[in-house]
Amino acid sequence: MQPRDLSDHVAYEAGRGIEEVARELGRDPSEFVKLASNENPHGPSPAAAVALRDAASSVSSYPKAAHADLTAAVADRWNVGDEQIWLANGGDGAIDYLHRATLEPGDTVCVPTPGFAYYGMSARYHHGEVREYAIERETDFEQTAETALESYDGDRVVWVTSPHNPTGSTMPLAEIERLADETNDETLLVVDEAYGEFADRDSAVALIEGREGYDARDDIAVLRTFSKAYGLAGVRLGYAVVPEEWSEAYARVNTPFAASELACRAGLAAVDDEEHVERTVETARESREYMRETIDAHVWESEGNFVLVDVGDASAVAEEMQRRGVIVRDCSSFGLPACIRITCGTDEETERAVETLNDVLADLETDGDTDADGEPAMDPEAEVSDT
Ligand SMILES: *Cc1c(COP(=O)(O)O)cnc(C)c1O
């Protein structure tokens, strides 16, 4: 017997881990910094780490009270009803729930390209089909209602990533509202704000709730995660904020206890530690400004905790940086073979990444492997890697 036809399904390509890379290169993990997966360089909130340790002795129980408490805390943070918060196993889990709640077999979802791979993977698991709209390099990856409407064709779900991974661009709320207005009544617009904390913008929750002068509506949901600004990627915790009209569906789509006891306890401690989030956001702002000012290649403006850099040949540059101890994300798998994405690190990590990248760019150019500036080779003797 075989699994069903999975030929449309592709494996998720995660940023590479230090252990994995060190083992492969036969080197010591301590020689590397990893700026490939948009993780929090400060780690989790210390309060969350304590909560995880304290929760260890109670993991024999199913998470019930902790789930209810965290739901209430998150609802309070957004000033919405508890039933509008759909806690899940990571933001990815919330993506699944929204698809479970919307897709009939053969329904389509419309996703940005380049973009986050899991939207399409999840839609396919739920027997949906995937269509794409393009975010264009020619317009510096600008996102307007038109960006999505150009390809929109009555899809059941339209995904907007703001700030967008991997480019860092955002879609202004007025444009999100216009997009929701101009799509069918039966189209759910999901605004993925996995990087929302890093952007100096209002959340699209304002559109759901009818705040800031917008009319309340039932066709937008917002996705958030504890993986990025809260530094809890390893515990897997995220959620959707949905319109009141969608509240009842949660009990019908929720995998029982998918947000674990450990995740809920850590999340409860983390939402109370505003200082940790503020420090994280401040570090990301400084880091991305520093990278824009000092990298010897084009760096797009970003509102996330990462920047996209035009390096000419992403796979050569990423591989050589890795050899020199800095792991970044080659964006070829996003359909951007000229770009790498660098996560904002601590000051020290960011400086090391910039120095390494600038050296690699200079050396590869000298070597004639790339022509980032179209400059002729200056020093044919230069020592470069075997890549
Ligand atoms: C990281 C990320 C998520 C969610 O990640 P989880 O770790 O599953 O919470 C969702 N969308 C985008 C665009 C992301 O980059």
CATH number assigned to the domain covering 18-43+275-382: 3.90.1150.10
What is the distance in A from the centroid of ligand 1 to the CA of 97?
Answer: 14
What is the dihedral sign for C-alpha 22, 25, 26, 27? negative
What is the distance in A from the centroid of ligand 1 to the CA of 354?
Answer: 25
- Find out whether the beta carbon of 261 lies less than 6 Å from any atom of ligand 1: no
How confident is the model over 81-109, as pLDDT tens digits? Answer: 999 999 999 999 999 999 999 999 999 99
Residue 366 is predicted with a pLDDT of: 79
CA distance 363 to 359: 6
- Find out whether the beta carbon of 112 lies less than 6 Å from any atom of ligand 1: no
What is the distance in A from the centroid of ligand 1 to the CA of 90?
Answer: 7
How confident is the model over 346-383, as pLDDT tens digits? Answer: 999 999 999 999 999 999 987 764 444 544 444 433 33
Residue 368 is predicted with a pLDDT of: 61
Residue 383 is predicted with a pLDDT of: 39
DSSP calls for 294-312:
H-SSEE---SSSEEEEE-S
Q: Which residues of the chain have pLDDT under 70?
A: 368-387
What is the distance in A from the centroid of ligand 1 to the CA of 88?
Answer: 12
- Which residue has its alpha carbon closest to ligand 1 atom 5? 91
State the pTM of this model: 0.93
**Is residue 223 within 8 Å of 91, Cβ to Cβ?**
yes
- Find out whether the beta carbon of 161 lies less than 6 Å from any atom of ligand 1: yes
CATH number assigned to the domain covering 46-270: 3.40.640.10
CA distance 95 to 219: 15
List the domain boundaries for the chain. 18-43+275-382, 46-270
Residue 377 is predicted with a pLDDT of: 42
Residue 386 is predicted with a pLDDT of: 36
Residue 385 is predicted with a pLDDT of: 38
Pocket test for ligand 1, best of 37, 113, 116 (most atoms within 8 A of CB): 116
- Find out whether the beta carbon of 196 lies less than 6 Å from any atom of ligand 1: no
